[in-house]
Amino acid sequence: MKKVFVMGGTGFVGARVCAQLLQQGWQVTVPTRKAPPAPPAAGVALLELDVHDEAALTRALRGHDALVNLVAILHGTQALFEHVHVRLVEKLARACFAAGVRQVVHVSAIGANAQQPLSAPSMYLRSKGQGEAALLRAAGLSDPSAFELTILRPSVIFGAQDKFLNVFASLQKALPVMPLAGASAKFQPIWVEDVASAVLRSLAREPAAATRAPLILQACGPDVFTLRELVQLAGRLSGVRGGRGRPVIALPNWLARLQATLMELLPGEPVMSRDNLDSMKLDNVATGALPGLETLGIQATALPAIACAYLGVKQAV
């Protein structure tokens, strides 16, 4: 039985990845700083570990065939983004090399650019690109390659426990109108189960030849929406105003940045930050410059039917 080490396995995407891995017969280890009351899926082995301790991480990885990295943050300072998306990934790369891990699947983001990471418009995307670059360097350290590397770049991920459509639906139940920053930004949402399937199929690929380059895939759904359209869809599917949703008011850039600044000052994780607005300067859609999920034999699932099932209204859009 193959063993896989899943970083971020207790999160929204990680729980679905773990469940699918177990169904396919993998032995799954999930590191966690503090063990939750129950594992993300029955059969997962939880390991209390400070993943930023490189020596401890290397010891924990020994005996594993593969590593899946899902660790990410959406909000923070420059230093925090670098800590999570760059320095941790550098440690993972060195630890995998030292521990003899032969496969790595890294979940990044649409808009990341490993060749020119600093050209991205936001701290989030710049750090994601730097993390990719670190893995690409590490994968080519030896001949044959140190490890087989697959990088998945998903658009925004939706699903029953998401903090995306569910947030828009909840806000419309509380607010009379929806003042919206970045209303014209484009997204190509991908279902969480499709992302999990992409991880599994990446792990199931035939071992690459020594000269084969790492595989970078864009993981996107079949449809492109503006943020305004996604907010309106969340309102309709959740039954707000009899299925009409709230009126959406697109904010000009200056007012959008003011709104985001105020949201950053509120306790808890902000709904929107200035760095999120910077990320939306790039459309969150497939560019066509890289292969997509069809390379793995996956036909991406359309959003409306899935979202309808978990937002509460059992009817067509």
Dihedral of CA atoms 306, 312, 316, 317 in degrees, nearest 10, equals -90
For residues 134 and 173, state if they share a domain: no
Are 41 and 14 in contact, with CB atoms under 8 Å apart? no
For residues 93 and 150, state if they share a domain: yes
For residues 231 and 122, state if they share a domain: no
Greatest CA separation for the chain: 62
For residues 201 and 253, state if they share a domain: no
For residues 54 and 23, state if they share a domain: yes
| CATH for 79 | 3.40.50.720
The verdict on residue 293 lying in a domain is no
Distance between CA atoms of 117 and 127, rounded to whole angstroms?
A: 7
For residues 262 and 182, state if they share a domain: yes
Q: Whole-model pTM?
A: 0.93
| 70: containing domain | 3-157+189-219
For residues 172 and 239, state if they share a domain: yes
Which structure tokens are listed for 284? Answer: 């969150």
Tell me: the pLDDT tens digits for 128-176?
A: 999 999 999 998 866 566 899 999 999 999 999 999 999 999 999 999 9
Work out the average pLDDT over 42-58: 93
Domain end point (choices 219, 240, 264): 219
| CATH for 169 | 3.90.25
The verdict on residue 292 lying in a domain is no
Are 106 and 89 in contact, with CB atoms under 8 Å apart? yes
Burial label for 77, CB within 10 Å (0-12, 13-18, 19+), is: exposed
Helices (H) and strands (E) counted in the chain, each on its own, are 11, 13
Tell me: the pLDDT tens digits for 114-138?
A: 999 999 999 999 999 999 999 999 9
Domains identified in the chain, total number:
2
Q: What percent of the chain has pLDDT over 90?
A: 85
